Amino acid sequence: MRLLDLPQAKHFCSPPGPVRAATGRVSLPAFHHGLPTHVVVMAEGTTPFQIQQVNVIDSVERWLAFALANFRRSVEMLVPISAPWAHVTLYYSSFFSANAILGMFGGWIGHTEKGIRAVDVESASLGTQSLRVHRRLKAPSGATGSHRVFWDVFYHSTATIAAWAPASLASALSPVNGDYAWQIAERNCVNYDMLHAWVASTAFHTSLRPAKLNSLSGPLQLQLETTQTLLQLALHFAKEVALQSDALLGCGFAGTRSQVQRRLVKHAPPRILSQSSLDRLLEL
């Protein structure tokens, strides 16, 4: 998958106001499901390009917000019985961050009723950019399965933008432990293997000192560090390309993108636990 460089990405992430205003917000998987097969290259200035451009920028905004929210919730779940799900939640924060990075640099991987679809860069020149639609996505390392394909493609593709990452965050663009599937394997272990999940809970109980988050150990610690670095890099790139849209409006907050994002993520949950059936369930 070919990506833009940073100056080209800044151009891509800044569509003219009239283009943004005139372009409808749609589901990208639905858009690609209905895209005629003869549309292979989408050129800047054409309707397909603008639909892809505006909606992937909106998606980037939302991926970043969801990534931040999942990161917050994962930290709030750091008690023994929730530690496995904290790991899963961190995984999705990492996954959303990676999607956001691809989107800012012109890439996109999605799932339609017709299968995986992908978009990368055909021409990167400012003013004449174009995107190529791939209806068959081949993973560089031969990965199969939607998430394995995604991470395989992500790590291979982002090697070309590593030079634009701060040295302290560049590790986010390299596979964890040299294995592009590490995050998936560890997520699956705690999600689908109850023995592994219980071992993770008991290990958490014996290792974490609440006053020191860095007392975490094992896969959960590595997932936390991986997610934090990847999310920080995605937010760094969002500033570098001057990302801006109204994609986060609709949940009750107004202001700048940064203000709305902060208010959405830090919004306190309603105190409604007592209205649930939890106490009755615990008595059964």
User: pLDDT tens, position by position, for the chain (284 residues)?
Assistant: 999 999 999 999 999 999 989 998 999 999 999 999 999 999 999 999 999 999 999 999 999 999 999 999 999 998 999 999 999 999 999 999 999 999 999 999 999 888 899 999 999 999 999 999 999 888 999 888 889 999 999 999 999 999 999 999 999 999 999 999 999 999 999 999 999 999 999 998 888 787 777 778 889 999 999 999 999 999 999 999 999 888 998 988 988 888 888 999 998 888 888 899 989 999 99
- Whether residue 183 lies inside any domain: the answer is yes
**pLDDT score recorded for residue 10:** 97
273 within some domain: no
Best CA proximity match to 197, nearest among 42, 85, 31, 49: 85
Q: Is residue 229 part of a domain?
A: yes
117's CB contacts (< 8 A; 6+ apart) are 29, 32, 109, 110, 111, 133, 134, 135, 137
Residue 280, in any domain of the structure: no
In a domain, 282, yes or no: no
Residue 37 lies in a domain: yes
User: What pLDDT score was predicted for residue 244?
Assistant: 87
- Total structural domains within the chain: 1
* Rounded-to-integer distance, Cα 202 and Cα 214, Å: 17
Query: Does 275 fall in a domain?
Result: no
Enclosing domain of residue 108: 6-265
pLDDT at 138 (0 to 100): 87
* pLDDT given at position 178: 94
Q: Would residue 283 count as lying in a domain? A: no
